[in-house]
Chains A and B, each alone.
Chain A
Amino acid sequence: MKSFIAVALFAGIIAMASAENYACHTNVTVGCTNNVQTPVICHARFGGIDNVESGIQSYINLNLHKSYQYLLMSAFYNSYQKNRPGFNKLYKSMSDRSFDDAIELIKHVTRRGGQVDFRAISQHPNSIAQSKLKLEEDELHSLGIALDIEKTLTADATHVHYQSTHGRPHDPHTAHFVEEKYLGRQADSVRQLSGYVNDLSKIMNQRDPSLGVYLFDQYLEKQ
């Protein structure tokens, strides 16, 4: 009798344990109806995607915004008055990189069963629309702007990583994705830009820096 109760209890616990959120197989034929109101039962959402989805949305918005800022900076250095092909090339490549990043992030979110909302792409918590950044600056200033932009992007990527590791449940896939694709490369980018800024400021530290800036621009073009 006692062993029967024990077995029954055990079976009950097993049954409760397996009746988790994986309800797809019980309701999968819901998709066979033509009624568009049927709720989505079978989806790709699992793990910690709920915690990171908004953070990634934010990071996508930031990447798109920065991509266009870099594009405008590159356009400014392409004008006949500035005429710095090296700077133009540097900023254009960063613009392309940010845009591709945004696309990669969209693919990541949708891979995990999330969605991207384009009705709010101009929004971001530290919205740069509030801090009106003037993009027509001289060479050294523009490198400084670029360095700050890179650090902003890295901070946002780190925030996504934080949300994916500290959320409950945590999301190791997103954490790994951010680490692999963004954090290492951003660190290199920040280091590279910081090197440029320091080099150029030392080069310009003389009475007539124009030759120095010209040669530095030539160097950038070769990179």
Chain B
Amino acid sequence: MRKQIQMEINASNIYLAMAAHFSRDVVNRPGFAEHFFKSAREEREHGSKLIEYLSMRGQLTESVTDLIQLIDVDVKVESGADALRQALELETKVTKSIRSLIKTCEKSPNWYHLVDWLTGEFLEEQLTGQRDLAGKLSTLSKMMASQGALGEFLFDKQL
């Protein structure tokens, strides 16, 4: 669970980096920037929810100081489509991590409630998020194929 919390915070920082990139004047994609700022906030919320769950189950009475480390991220974004692709990969990675966490918690003794909570709340959000990103990526890629900068410009205004 601790690793999962750190992973959510890392994801939040990666989204912040992407959002900062799209906020730049030379890139100028405010729609993408807002989308990624929102994603960063959401990932932080996920981390926060995981922490609350741990508190609820009686953990986090000690060793709290090192629970979250601020880790440098190196994000290189070539275009809007590239950012969406990277975001989709990131979400998939997080989902896989949650799944393996669920598998671990199902072994004896079975943490039924945690497994149920992770499946119902976290996986639900991850999977719908992935579907949304995949849809956006596919629409944008089709436009980028022939229209390039114009396609990205118009798509950004709709985000």
A residues neighboring B (CB under 8 Å): 40, 43-44, 61, 64-65, 68, 71-73, 75-76, 78-82, 99, 102-103, 106-107, 109-111, 113, 115-116, 118-123, 132-136
| B70 x A65 contact (CB < 8 A) | yes
B44 contacts partner chain A, Cβ-Cβ < 8 Å: yes
Chain B residues within 8 Å of chain A by Cβ, number: 39
Give residues 15-52 of B contacting A (CB, 8 Å): 16-17, 19-21, 23-26, 37, 40-41, 44, 47-48, 51-52
Rounded to whole Å, the gap between the CB of B85 and the closest CB of chain A is: 19
B62 nearest CB neighbor, chain A only: A136
| B61 x A118 contact (CB < 8 A) | no
Give residues 51-102 of B contacting A (CB, 8 Å): 51-52, 54-55, 58-65, 67-75
Q: A75-B54, A113-B25, A116-B20 are in contact. List 11 more A-B contacts (CB 8 A).
A: A72-B64, A75-B55, A75-B64, A79-B60, A80-B61, A99-B44, A115-B20, A118-B74, A121-B72, A122-B72, A134-B65
| B60 x A68 contact (CB < 8 A) | no
| A118 x B64 contact (CB < 8 A) | no
| B52 x A118 contact (CB < 8 A) | no
Q: Say yes or no: A133-B44 contact (C-beta < 8 A), given A118-B72, A119-B74, A121-B73.
A: no
B73 nearest CB neighbor, chain A only: A118
Rounded to whole Å, the gap between the CB of A76 and the closest CB of chain B is: 5
| A-B residue pairs in contact (CB < 8 Å), sample of 29 | A44-B25, A71-B68, A75-B51, A76-B60, A78-B51, A78-B52, A78-B55, A79-B55, A79-B59, A80-B58, A99-B41, A103-B16, A110-B24, A110-B25, A111-B23, A113-B25, A115-B21, A115-B24, A116-B20, A118-B13, A118-B14, A118-B75, A119-B72, A119-B73, A119-B74, A121-B70, A121-B72, A122-B71, A134-B65
Instruction: Find A43's partner among B26, B48, B74, B75 (CB 8 Å cutoff).
Output: B26
| Chain B residues within 8 Å of A102, by CB | 16
| B23 x A106 contact (CB < 8 A) | yes
Q: State in angstroms the CA–CA spacing of A110 and B21 once bound together.
A: 8
Q: State in angstroms the CA–CA spacing of A72 and B69 once bound together.
A: 11
| Chain B residues within 8 Å of A134, by CB | 65
A132 nearest CB neighbor, chain B only: B65
Rounded to whole Å, the gap between the CB of B144 and the closest CB of chain A is: 14
B12 nearest CB neighbor, chain A only: A99
A115 nearest CB neighbor, chain B only: B24
B9 contacts partner chain A, Cβ-Cβ < 8 Å: yes
Q: Say yes or no: A133-B73 contact (C-beta < 8 A), given A44-B25, A79-B59.
A: no
